[in-house]
Amino acid sequence: MKAPTNKITDLIRFYSNELKAGYSDREARGLVEQLIDSFFGIDKLKLIKTPELRLNESEMLRLHFAVKELSCNKPLQYILTQTEFDGLMFDVNENVLIPRPETEELLSLVSNFLSKKAKVAVADIGTGSGCIAISLANRFPDSNVEGFDISIAALTVANQNAIKLKVSNVSFFEMDILHQENSLKENYYDLIVSNPPYVTISDKAEMKPNVLDYEPELALFVTDEDPLIFYRTIILKAVPSLKNGGLLAFEINERFGLGVCCLMESAGFTDCKIIEDLNKKDRFVTGLK
């Protein structure tokens, strides 16, 4: 249905109503307002001051097609092609996962560990958009951070983000962690961090379409037969690669905490901890070499 007017306040009401089938009234309005702010630089305060603002024809079309994508469950971050993480604006597309708030918690967790050290070396395995690697490199300018991923398309996004954000102490490398010889340097890293695939295939039925239909399966799913395969492999490769006293830190499926902890202890890691996220769900496991 075509919008009846080009006045922005009317468009917000019209398109909010169009989205009500899939979103609450508040969510729908918020999404339309975010599109208008991101696309045209017109926020709520500006609309209050100048309520007669209007869009031209090309702007109307851009908004129309964006709302249409939202109605098909496409995540807002992919429509805007960017999202904020740790105060930085990262480019994202359907080749990389959208960074989650829980991953910012992981970033804070490992940053607390690194803050007690001088120059540090870090490996981020399954780097995706580079959000963890780049944020750590930005927080610790004297560090050397390396990000690894199996996906060339994801690494392209990560490299673009590092360039855009002018973070020079981070590098990205292709690595198939499951099937490749260890590409990690020996006895080199103070921290190895990973947010590997941890959604089991059987969990697919419970996932929302905006995740299932758009985010990369390669970065999401693991088999029900061996759901800890990435953790087991990374743990074994971390043993020769971490310095003594180095930290291994994972984001996990809430059901995997005990299993990952046991794997780490069996490999010789000490002080292994299962840590809850802000929603009181087991979300992180850490251990010291």
Sketch the domain layout of the chain as residue ranges.
8-72, 82-288
Does position 3 have pLDDT exceeding 80, yes or no? no
Place of tokens 């962690």: 177
Q: What is the DSSP letter of 55?
A: -
Distance (Å, whole) CA 271 – CA 141: 28
- Model confidence at 214, pLDDT cuts 50, 70, 90, reads confident
Our CA dihedral for 23, 27, 30, 34, rounded to 10 degrees, sits at -60
Whole-prediction pTM: 0.93
Place of tokens 């930290």: 247
- Model confidence at 218, pLDDT cuts 50, 70, 90, reads confident
Distance (Å, whole) CA 236 – CA 263: 9
- 195 alpha carbon, distance to own chain's centre: 9
Residues 82-288, CATH architecture: 3-Layer(aba) Sandwich (3.40)
Count of other CB atoms within 10 angstroms of residue 181? 8
Task: State the pLDDT at residue 10.
Answer: 94
Comparison of pLDDT for 227 and 212, the residue scoring more: 227
Average pLDDT estimate for 236-259: 97
Residue closest to 119 by CA, chosen among 68, 182, 188, 69: 188
Does position 251 have pLDDT exceeding 90, yes or no? yes
Task: State the pLDDT at residue 21.
Answer: 86
Average pLDDT estimate for 59-77: 95
Distance (Å, whole) CA 138 – CA 253: 27
Residue closest to 125 by CA, chosen among 186, 193, 30: 193
Does position 1 have pLDDT exceeding 70, yes or no? no
Distance (Å, whole) CA 11 – CA 3: 7
What separation, in Å, do the N-terminal and C-terminal C-alpha atoms of the chain show?
60
Sign, CA dihedral 149-152-157-159, equals positive
- Residue 249, sorted as left (phi over 0), alpha (psi -120 to 50) or beta, turns out to be beta
- 217 alpha carbon, distance to own chain's centre: 14
Does position 58 have pLDDT exceeding 90, yes or no? yes
Distance (Å, whole) CA 99 – CA 129: 8
Residue closest to 132 by CA, chosen among 235, 236, 219, 260: 219
Distance (Å, whole) CA 289 – CA 281: 25
Task: State the pLDDT at residue 212.
Answer: 80
Contact predicate 147/189, CB 8 Å: no
Distance (Å, whole) CA 22 – CA 31: 12
